[in-house]
Amino acid sequence: MNCDLANEIIFKGIRVYGITGRRLFKTWYRLTGLFQAGLNIKPVITHTFPMKDFARGFELINSGQCGKVVLDSGSQAR
């Protein structure tokens, strides 16, 4: 994937954050609290695939024609 840093990040004033190490756990704990408080993320989930179809999910993400794609390890994927 190529990214034009000047036009796609810098001139738009976008901040890019990576999550590693302890920040990852801090993020999980924060999200747990938001979910318990009633945060509903279902409107941003546009596609759900069973784990075995992960390649389809990644192709869709790369196409830019989706919102959040979920890979489901259970049998209820839709």
Question: If you write DSSP's letter for every residue of 9-66 in order, what string do you get?
Answer: IITTT-------HHHHHHHHHHHHHHHHTT---GGGEEEEEEGGGHHHHHHHHHHT--
What are the domain boundaries of the chain? 1-39, 40-78
Tens digit of pLDDT for each residue in 16-25? 877 666 677 8
Tens digit of pLDDT for each residue in 21-49? 667 788 888 989 999 999 999 999 999 99
- Greater confidence (57 vs 77) lies with 57
Rounded Cα distance, 29 and 20, in Å: 14
- Greater confidence (61 vs 21) lies with 61
Residues 8, 15, 72, 41, CA torsion sign: negative
Mean pLDDT of 52-71: 94
The pLDDT of residue 77 is 46
